[in-house]
Amino acid sequence: IRAAHAAFVEHDILLVEGTGHAGVGAVVGLSNAVVAAMLGAPAVIVSGGGVGRPIDEIVLNAALFAAHGVPVAGAVVNKVEVDAQPGIERILERGLAMHGIPLLGILPYRPILSNPSLALVAEGIKGELLHAGSDPDQVIGAIGIAAMHSDHVLERLRPRSLVIVPGDREELLLRLLDDHRDRSARGAEPIVCGLVLTGFRPAASVVEAVRAADVFALLTNDDTYPVASSVHDLLVKTHAADAGKIELI
Q: Are 71 and 42 in contact (CB under 8 A)?
A: yes
**Cα end-to-end span (Å), the chain:** 30
Burial label, 50 (beta-carbon count in 10 A; 0-12, 13-18, 19+):
middle
Q: Are strands 161-166 and 128-131 parallel, antiparallel or unpaired?
A: unpaired
* Nearest-angstrom CA–CA distance, 76 and 114: 18
- Please determine, for residue 63, whether its predicted confidence score (pLDDT) is greater than 90: yes
- Please determine, for residue 204, whether its predicted confidence score (pLDDT) is greater than 90: yes
Band of the pLDDT at 202, cuts 50, 70, 90? very high
Q: For residue 229, give the DSSP letter.
A: H
- Please determine, for residue 53, whether its predicted confidence score (pLDDT) is greater than 80: yes
Q: Are 77 and 109 in contact (CB under 8 A)?
A: no
* Nearest-angstrom CA–CA distance, 245 and 110: 10
- Please determine, for residue 8, whether its predicted confidence score (pLDDT) is greater than 80: no
For residue 160, the model assigns a pLDDT of 92
Band of the pLDDT at 207, cuts 50, 70, 90? very high
For residue 235, the model assigns a pLDDT of 83
b/e for 8-46, b at 16 or more Cβ within 10 A? eeeeeeeeeebeebbeebeeeeebbbbbbbeeebebebb
Signed CA dihedral, 147, 153, 157, 159: sign only: positive
For residue 219, the model assigns a pLDDT of 97
Longest dimension (CA), the chain: 67
